[in-house]
Amino acid sequence: MAFINRELSWIQFNERVLHQATLSTTPFFEKGRFLSIASNNLDEFYMVRVGSLQELSALVESNDNKTNLTITQQLKLISKQVQHFIDHQTQVYDSWMKEAQSYHIHVKKVIDLKSNDQAYIQTMYKSQIEPLLSPMIVDQSHPFPFLQNKQVVVVALLKKGKKKTLGLIPIDPHIIPLVVSLPTSSSLHCVMVSDLIHTHIQKIFKGYEVEAITNMKLIRNADLDYDGSDDEELTFKDVMKKLLKKRQRLAVVRAEFNHPLPELIKEVVKRVSIKTQHVFVNPIPLHGAHFKLIEQFCLKRYPNAFFPQLSPRNPLHPYQGSMMDLLKKQDVFLHVPYDRLDPLIHLLKEAANHPNVVSIKMTLYRLSSQSSIIEALVQAAQQGKEVVVIIELKARFDEQHNIDHATTLEEAGCQVIYGFEGYKVHSKCCLITEVDKGKVITYTHTSTGNYNENTAKLYTDYHVLSANPTLGEDVRTFFTWLQLGDIEAFKQPLHHLSTSPFTFKESILHHIHQEIATHLQEKDGHIIFKMNSMTDKDIMEALILADQHGVKVDLIIRGINCLSVENTTINVRSILGRYLEHSRVYYFKHHNQNTMLISSADLMTRNTMKRIESAINIHDERIIQTIVRSLQLQLRDDIAAYIQVKQHYEYHEGQDSQVMHFSLSELSSTQTSNQGIMKRVFEKMKKAVKPK
Q: What percent of the chain has pLDDT over 70?
A: 90
* Per-residue pLDDT at 60: 78
Q: Which of 305, 236, 168, 291 is nearest to 485 (CA)?
A: 236
Q: Output the pLDDT for position 238.
A: 60
Tell me how far CA of residue 620 lies from CA of 219, 360, 496, 634, in angstroms.
Answer: 48, 24, 12, 22
The yes-or-no verdict on residue 243 having pLDDT over 60 is no
* 646 vs 644: CA distance, rounded Å: 6
Cβ pair 190, 181 in contact under 8 A: yes
Least confident of 178-187, 220-229, 440-449, 664-673: 664-673
Q: What is the pLDDT of residue 655?
A: 43
3-state SS class at 527: strand
661 tagged catalytic:
no
- With a pLDDT cut of 90, the percent of the chain lying above it is 79
Contacts of 679 by beta carbon, 8 Å cutoff, 6+ apart: none
Residue range 147-157: average pLDDT? 96
User: Any idea which of 156-165, 233-242, 414-423 has the lowest mean pLDDT?
Assistant: 233-242
pLDDT of residue 685: 35
Angstrom distance (rounded) from CA 602 to CA 3: 17
Cβ–Cβ under 8 Å, residues 205 and 358: no
Give CA separation, 510 vs 99, 539, 563, in Å: 52, 10, 20
Bigger pLDDT: 76 or 674? 76
- In this predicted structure, what is the pLDDT of residue 669? 32
Higher pLDDT pick, 653 / 529: 529
pLDDT range class, residue 57, cuts 50, 70, 90: confident
Q: Which domains does the chain have, with CATH numbers?
A: 129-231+250-291 (3.30.1840.10), 323-492 (3.30.870.10), 500-646 (3.30.870.10)
Q: What is the pLDDT of residue 646?
A: 83
d(CA 92, CA 321): 51
Is the pLDDT score of 95 beyond 90? yes
pLDDT digits (tens, 9 = 90+) for 573-587: 999 999 999 999 999
Find how far residue 280's CA is from the centre of its chain.
23
Report helix angle 372-382 to 399-411, nearest 10: 20
Q: Are 247 and 215 in contact (CB under 8 A)?
A: no
User: Pairing relation of β-strands 439-447 and 459-466?
Assistant: antiparallel
CA-atom Rg of the chain in angstroms? 27
Q: Which residues pair with 575 in a beta bridge?
A: 641
Give, in order, the Cα–Cα distances in Å from 260 to each of 257, 271, 280, 417. 7, 18, 9, 50
Which of the following is catalytic: 426, 519, 590, 661? 426
Residue 591 confidence (pLDDT) above 90: no
Average pLDDT of the residues in 461-488: 97
Report whether the peptide linkage leading into residue 135 is cis, meaning its omega lies within 30 degrees of zero.
no
Scanning 392-527, the segments in alpha helix (DSSP H) are 399-411, 469-484, 503-522
Using DSSP's 3-state secondary structure scheme, residue 404 falls into: helix
DSSP for residue 128? I
Among 341, 334, 337, which Cα is nearest to 371's?
Answer: 341
Digit-coded pLDDT (tens) for 294-310: 999 999 999 999 999 98
pLDDT tens-place string over residues 592-638: 789 999 999 999 999 999 999 999 999 999 999 999 999 999 999 88
Q: Is the pTM of this model over 0.85?
A: yes
Taking the CA atoms of 480, 335, 608 and 43 in sequence, report the sign of the dihedral they define: negative
Residue 690, pLDDT score: 36
